[in-house]
Structure 1
């Protein structure tokens, strides 16, 4: 292989990696629909909130999870009927398959019946989280 071809391939791979990284960063923290998922409160041995529940999936090695935990706990403390539950996937990897969680933190907005109304991968944007809660 010629040096020019090798440099061209390496350059193309770098450009591809930058484009994919920018796309993933842009999608991080945005609201997505919950699909047809239902959250089972017996997975956490806690009860759902009377209005809504913020379910945070995290792991022990997650660097952004403490930030999300503080944000969601503060939000749940300010609003009546809102509860924050944290699920550690380090100890419950079966739940990552059941709820299709591919990254941590992932946050679900769950209504009082257990239906997942919104989902956030990464650190949720405050305004998008407020909109998801207002829709309930």
Structure 2
């Protein structure tokens, strides 16, 4: 009987953990104050005006491919928006400097390198566009 209770407890905890992870996936989070200095590889990729969406991804990441498709399409149809995909498989120090713990992570950066917000996981296109509107109006 004890084994049944243990199994039931594990299933409940697993369900709660899964629900929390699903709720956090793709959610837009405001930038933390005192953002770190950008590595040269990132600052060199920033567009001179507008907002640059910097996608941090890895080679064998399936959600990264989906994110790349969403962000590329969004950048193609939105004035003042640029998409850059950085694969950190070879350069993990970029992910470490930017405090990226998972891939894909998308950073919205201004031309001066200020982080506006970040999204962990696959972003939702319409929500992302709504969050970007105030920053693109200045472009």
Answer yes or no: is 1:104 the counterpart of 2:86.
no
Partner of 1:75: 74
Partner of 1:26: 23
Gaps of 5+ in 1: none
- 2: distance between equivalents of 1:119 and 1:66? 18
SS at match of 2:9: helix
* Equivalences for residues 78-97 of structure 1 within 5 A: 78-97=77-96
Deviation (angstroms), 1:41: 6.5
SS at match of 1:135: helix
Residues 32-89 of structure 1 deviation map (CA, whole Å, 9 limit, x = unaligned) = 0111325637224423251100000100110111111111111111122211111111
Gaps of 5+ in 2: none
- Normalised to the residue count of structure 2, the TM-score between the two structures is 0.87
- 2: distance between equivalents of 1:47 and 1:22? 35
* Equivalences for residues 1-136 of structure 1 within 5 A: 4-36=1-33, 37-38=35-36, 40=38, 42-44=40-42, 45-136=44-135
Conserved 8 A contact 2:38-2:97: no
- 2: distance between equivalents of 1:38 and 1:84? 21
Over the aligned positions, Cα root-mean-square deviation in angstroms equals 1.6
SS at match of 1:85: strand
